[in-house]
Structure 1
Amino acid sequence: MNAKEILKKYYGYDAFRPGQKELINHIIEGRDVIGIMPTGGGKSLCYQIPALLLEGITIVISPLISLMKDQVDTLKEYGIKAELINSTLSMTEFRGIMMGAREKAYKILYVAPERLEAESFIDLLKELPISLIAVDEAHCVSQWGHDFRPSYRRISQMLSHLEKRPVVAAFTATATPLVKEDIIKLLRLEQPFELVSNFDRPNLYFEVRKPQNKLEEIRQYLLENKDKSGIIYCATRKNVEEVCERLNRLGILATKYHGGLGEQERSENQEDFLYDRMPIMVATNAFGMGIDKPNVRFVLHYNMPKNMESYYQEAGRAGRDGEAAECIMLFSTQDIMTNRFLIENASLGVDHSQDYQKLNHMVDYCNTQGCLRSYILTYFGQVALEEDCKHCGNCNNEIEETDITREAQIIMSCVRRMREQFGSTLVTDVLKGANTQKIRDFNFHELSTYGLMREYSKESIKELISFLIAEGYLLLAGNQYPILKLTPQSYPVLKGEEKITIRRLIMRQKELPEEVRVEAHELFTLLRQERYKLAKAHKVQPFMIFPDTSLKDMCKRYPITAEEFLQVSGVGEHKLQKYGENFILLIKEYVETHTIKKELSPSMATGFTIPTKSAPRDSHKLTYSLYRQGLTLEEIAKERNLTELTVENHLVKCVEEGLEVDYADFIPEKYEKQIIEAIQICGTTLLKPIKEALPSEVSYTAIKFSLLKLK
């Protein structure tokens, strides 16, 4: 059997996801690999399929007991022989599993990294015919990673003790270039094949909302999304308790998870959520690591997280089955103060400058007027989308433009008159005309800008300040006590030479597709009930029987024979034998009762897709033609009704295809040498580290074209 046949036989899928096939092929050929793929990108298949093709046993190093157990249970449901070794086993259980491994009773053995600290365990591993070592969450080996685990350092020592070195495959969802190089070095990977996947998750819809009442916003959202499974993240335990209590009072089923609960209560609440007994989990960021629940349809953030890494990891727990899901942030300026407090009190005496910088990026995300997906991609050092994604709050909603030049001038003037030495809270108080001791002490009540924005709420003024920071008109300097400063962009506005408009979103009612949504389908409900019953009987999570994607495919195909059932996405031979009869009988009865005519069109069989805006072919060459006529990026953007970012990406594509540009149009002469030095130090894989090593005036545009010039 080859890799594709195994994918169909055991997992029930017809095609690999991007990057999976390349990684699998290199492992099978005997080459070390490192795969950096986003959450939900299908990393586990990249070592599970080679495990079934290689002769011996595959050892998987995994840091989380809950994740190991879920993966082993899932593999057993696929009919794949697997076991795990962790601290919960008795000595008798441990010996039994090791004996089975020696006798080749399993193809995959999951091991907690702490086991590698015992020499006696490494001696036992020497007796096994190991063909592959897969290291999950490989960033744990690096001190530069966000979740360093010292026991991961034992992996390379274990490898040196084995009689024959197996192939080593490392996987992670979060690795900067620095961490990636650390993984290669510390795991002693030998000339590995490296794959860094696109971080974009097309099935996720991103949106930032700024409601007056967050609890009311959540209540309304949940009423519109009844019976869907979701996570609501809060910054503090107090917020978790408040939100969960309010939802329960409203009759909305929700459970909670945070560090202040007892271990048993946390465990029970987590199980209620995973087994679909409770559709909604309200939690701090303590929840979610190692949780693999594919049918999470939304992740709401009641508070803004303190950095983009945390946000994308938490938001990424939605839609792991590839189906459409929503990631919505509820932002208020109070979130900034909450996060500053959490950073300041995290570790006393530690330099938090990097944490504050990351927080500023998070605030910028909440205030950007551009495409949210592109912001995320650019933050992680990847190339932004060529056009608006049409699948985020900023691209998908109608925009109302408001001229805020006057307000911006007042705010900037106030910052300047306060000598650029104070933060947004005091600037807001001065603009509101507050009568405080601090204002009187500094004589700020005598400033010409004092009280000029009395009619605005404090929240509105702070939101305007956040917007001006995000757009580069103001700078937030300092760390623990940030102060507002003017930037070169401020002065044209102050002189009346430039106008500023803010684009406010007008929320559009989402349109339902013309055909009846499968979630509302009566058969879908019946299939979910059958799945829940079977999951309870077999003591496994419902998605391990079949994920929602498989149930939806059944609703489209109406399979009433074993052969037809095998064509359903996610149905392999083992699951057909184990559960097929239950579902086929139920579907057959439904078809007969409702006298359904089974006429399956090819489009029905393909499942749900998210409509995307298709760009005209050779659009980039039309942009290039205008560039050659002497038009600037701004002029081309206006002419073609595109964003400047799209125009820039078009020209990058043209250069890659061999067309010529004048690099002096894009790279400032005085910074060119610095940019080249930064590229040599940081490497060419990601843009973000290069940007951070350069003065703030150097744009991503200059970096992109410098990279092209160096090629």
Structure 2
Amino acid sequence: MEKLEVLKKVFGYDSFREGQEKIIDAILRGQDVLGIMPTGAGKSICYQVPALMFPGITVVVSPLISLMIDQVKALNDAGIHAAYINSALTETQITKALYNAMCGRYKIVYVAPERLETDRFLEFVMNADISMITVDEAHCISQWGQDFRPSYLKIVNLIKRFPKRPVVSAFTATATQTVKEDIQCILGLQNPEVLITGFDRKNLYFEVRKTKQKDAEILDYLEKHKGESGIIYCSTRKNVDNVYLMLRKNRIAAARYHAGLDNDTRKESQEDFIYDRAQVIVATNAFGMGIDKSNVRFVLHYNMPACIENYYQEAGRAGRDGEPAECILFYSPQDVVIHEFLIEQKGQNTEFTQDDLDVIRENDIRRLNKMRFYCATKECLREYMLNYFGEYTNRRECGNCGNCNASFEEKDVTVLCRDMIACIRESGQRYGMGVIMGILRGSNTAKLKSYGVSRYETFGIQSKTSEAQLKAVAEELLLKGYLTETPDIYRIIKLDKTCEELLDEGASFLIRWSERTEKMAEAKVKTAKSRATDTLSPKQLALFGALKQLRLTLAREENLPPYIIFSDKTLIDMCHKMPHTQQEMLDVNGVGENKFARYGEAFIRCIEQNS
């Protein structure tokens, strides 16, 4: 079959998304590839289509068991025979799966990186016809990536051992320039086709909320989004447990997931969420990588993540179907303290040398500061993240984030900036921001008394300025590069030579400022994008509900996640097209031949009964 024929017959799509065809063509030419594509852009199609066209087997290295299980279920449901090899299987099951693969029963085999150098797996790959090695979540191979995993280095050894080198394809959703170069170098990609489709997820709405009432805000949010599926991320197990119990106390169908729970409990929680038995799952970042649940309508962060890469990847689990979704981060300064503590705990990791740990710690602090600045900026949130990944646009506003939709006024803070610079200089550039603000405000604390700072000329010079405004100005100066911080947990403030520009006569410094109270902040602007179901008439909306119920019934009968049968996007397309024949149903986005054979008639009957 040709590539478009495979796409239509197997997956039910009429055309490729941006970048997919270019990657597939390169793979089919036998060329190595690196695809950097945002979550929801269809990375799996890029290797699954050529895998079905190659004569041999494609081995997909994947980091998490949940990812493999989801992918294999979806492939088998679409009529593609696939298997996975990981610790969830017994040795007998692994032997049987590898035997079936050798016999040609599987076109795609997913494997955990820890299994790559086992004798049984090596015997398999050395004797099987392997056409391609695909590395999913390829950023894990880079020490500069947010999820570095030493076990990923085994991939390189495996590739070198092949009698005949297969095509090597690597994919990730988030990669800075350094990580991109690492992937190419470490994997030894040969003259690769490198495709970066852009990091922008236009369907996602981003917002940062600064509040001391996180629980109340989350309950209010969930009340307004009943019936929608979502994830709440927390930075610690304790927070996960507390938020979970708070939700259950308020009779919200919730599940929880973190490494402190036993395997059976984690598995049950994950399945409750995937199978729509729980509306929301509260989790640490141990949950979610590779979860292919397409109908997640919101991702809330109870705590700030450790870096932009983590945040963008976690937030990106919303709206994988391309429909509007919301990503809201509830920020408090304590989040930074928690992450600084966790970074220090990395010193207990004996896997690295002390020099390695020092480099990793410095890099972690740098990324943490970038994440902190994201929470502080008054500029477009989307642009901030895209710029972080090296993607720049000419627009100042995206129109679909909390900052672009908020009301700010510009305030001239030139005098305050000059006082702050003078204070940092006068104090010898040896304090962190807390002390600098204390000096400027003339705080009478024991700590400041012990430092003897009351003798400074700048002591109390900004006594009438609020701590919030001082902090906002300091963050803006750091963002613009006039100030810098040392890359350690002490975060000592230093003057950059560019700060002299602000001391010139005629220079000015403006910031966007909002005097909104917490109460006003609760009245948040809704996402600028309407939901897909808003396009449905009342009659179509009723049909959509009936189709969802049918999907849920079939899913429970077959022990499958509902979204694997059909995504919300496919059901909405059914409501618009109202198919009554096989050909009309095959014209619906996401309905392939195997899917029609299994479910088509049932959905046609449901449409006829609700027309």
1:160-175 correspondence to structure 2 within 5 Å: 160-175=160-175
How many angstroms apart in 2 are the aligned matches of 1:143 and 1:447?
Answer: 44
Note the C-alpha offset of 1:433.
4.3
Structure 2 equivalent of residue 38 of structure 1: 38
How many angstroms apart in 2 are the aligned matches of 1:124 and 1:399?
Answer: 62
- Taking a change above 3 Å as real, the CA distance of residues 492 and 139 of structure 1, as seen in their structure-2 partners, is closer
Which of 400, 412, 418 is matched with 2:409 structurally? 400
Contact map agreement 2:231 2:298 (CA 8 A) in 1: yes
Asked if residue 443 in structure 1 is aligned to residue 452 in structure 2, the reply is yes
Which of 498, 503, 511 is matched with 1:501 structurally? 511
How many angstroms apart in 2 are the aligned matches of 1:225 and 1:406?
Answer: 45
Q: Deviations over 1:173-211 (max 9, x none)?
A: 344444444444444433222222311111112222223
Between 424-433 and 571-580, the greater mean CA deviation after superposition: 424-433
Between 336-345 and 425-434, the greater mean CA deviation after superposition: 425-434
Note the C-alpha offset of 1:77.
0.8
How many angstroms apart in 1 are the aligned matches of 2:280 and 2:392?
Answer: 35
How many angstroms apart in 2 are the aligned matches of 1:462 and 1:184?
Answer: 41
1:143-292 correspondence to structure 2 within 5 Å: 143-292=143-292
How many angstroms apart in 2 are the aligned matches of 1:362 and 1:546?
Answer: 36
- Taking a change above 3 Å as real, the CA distance of residues 482 and 516 of structure 1, as seen in their structure-2 partners, is closer
| SS of residue paired to 2:73 | helix
- The structure whose Rg is larger is 1
Which of 577, 593, 603 is matched with 1:557 structurally? 577
Which of 401, 411, 426 is matched with 2:435 structurally? 426
Q: Deviations over 1:30-81 (max 9, x none)?
A: 2222222222221111111112112222222223222111111100111112
Structure 1 equivalent of residue 379 of structure 2: 370
How many angstroms apart in 1 are the aligned matches of 2:531 and 2:345?
Answer: 52
- Taking a change above 3 Å as real, the CA distance of residues 80 and 333 of structure 1, as seen in their structure-2 partners, is same
How many angstroms apart in 1 are the aligned matches of 2:487 and 2:108?
Answer: 51
Q: Letter of the 1:550 partner, please give it.
A: T
Contact map agreement 1:333 1:463 (CA 8 A) in 2: no
- Taking a change above 3 Å as real, the CA distance of residues 216 and 494 of structure 1, as seen in their structure-2 partners, is farther
Q: Letter of the 1:542 partner, please give it.
A: P
How many angstroms apart in 1 are the aligned matches of 2:162 and 2:491?
Answer: 54
CA RMSD of aligned residues (A): 2.9
Structure 2 equivalent of residue 537 of structure 1: 557
Q: Deviations over 1:526-575 (max 9, x none)?
A: 22221111111111111101111111112222222222211111111111
Which of 517, 524, 547 is matched with 2:544 structurally? 524
Contact map agreement 2:414 2:502 (CA 8 A) in 1: no
Contact map agreement 2:84 2:111 (CA 8 A) in 1: yes
| SS of residue paired to 2:116 | helix
Note the C-alpha offset of 1:516.
6.7
TM-score, with normalisation over the residues of structure 2?
0.88
Note the C-alpha offset of 1:303.
1.8
1:229-628 correspondence to structure 2 within 5 Å: 229-347=229-347, 350-351=357-358, 352-405=361-414, 407-447=416-456, 449-451=458-460, 458-459=467-468, 461-477=470-486, 479-487=488-496, 488-489=498-499, 492=502, 497-504=507-514, 507-508=524-525, 517=534, 521-591=541-611
Between 582-591 and 344-353, the greater mean CA deviation after superposition: 344-353
Contact map agreement 1:374 1:385 (CA 8 A) in 2: no
- Taking a change above 3 Å as real, the CA distance of residues 324 and 17 of structure 1, as seen in their structure-2 partners, is same
Note the C-alpha offset of 1:21.
0.4
Q: Give the gaps of 5 or more residues in structure 2.
A: 349-353
- Taking a change above 3 Å as real, the CA distance of residues 478 and 44 of structure 1, as seen in their structure-2 partners, is closer
- Taking a change above 3 Å as real, the CA distance of residues 333 and 264 of structure 1, as seen in their structure-2 partners, is same
TM-score, with normalisation over the residues of structure 1?
0.76
Q: Letter of the 2:452 partner, please give it.
A: N
How many angstroms apart in 1 are the aligned matches of 2:394 and 2:281?
Answer: 32
| SS of residue paired to 1:395 | coil
Between 61-70 and 342-351, the greater mean CA deviation after superposition: 342-351
Aligned pairs, how many? 591
Q: Letter of the 1:361 partner, please give it.
A: K
| SS of residue paired to 1:255 | strand
Note the C-alpha offset of 1:106.
2.2
Q: Deviations over 1:248-301 (max 9, x none)?
A: 333333222222223322222122111111111222222222322111111122
Between 190-199 and 572-581, the greater mean CA deviation after superposition: 190-199
- Taking a change above 3 Å as real, the CA distance of residues 433 and 279 of structure 1, as seen in their structure-2 partners, is same
- Taking a change above 3 Å as real, the CA distance of residues 260 and 451 of structure 1, as seen in their structure-2 partners, is farther
How many angstroms apart in 2 are the aligned matches of 1:33 and 1:512?
Answer: 34
Q: Give the gaps of 5 or more residues in structure 1.
A: 592-711
Contact map agreement 1:51 1:57 (CA 8 A) in 2: yes
- Taking a change above 3 Å as real, the CA distance of residues 483 and 84 of structure 1, as seen in their structure-2 partners, is closer
- Taking a change above 3 Å as real, the CA distance of residues 245 and 415 of structure 1, as seen in their structure-2 partners, is farther
Contact map agreement 2:204 2:318 (CA 8 A) in 1: yes
Contact map agreement 1:114 1:151 (CA 8 A) in 2: yes
How many angstroms apart in 1 are the aligned matches of 2:502 and 2:156?
Answer: 58
Asked if residue 93 in structure 1 is aligned to residue 110 in structure 2, the reply is no
- Taking a change above 3 Å as real, the CA distance of residues 448 and 248 of structure 1, as seen in their structure-2 partners, is farther
Q: Deviations over 1:64-101 (max 9, x none)?
A: 22211111110011111212222333344334333322
Contact map agreement 1:318 1:326 (CA 8 A) in 2: yes
Contact map agreement 1:405 1:501 (CA 8 A) in 2: no
Q: Letter of the 1:367 partner, please give it.
A: A
1:8-157 correspondence to structure 2 within 5 Å: 8-157=8-157
Q: Letter of the 2:510 partner, please give it.
A: I
Note the C-alpha offset of 1:113.
2.9
| SS of residue paired to 2:408 | strand
Contact map agreement 1:518 1:555 (CA 8 A) in 2: no
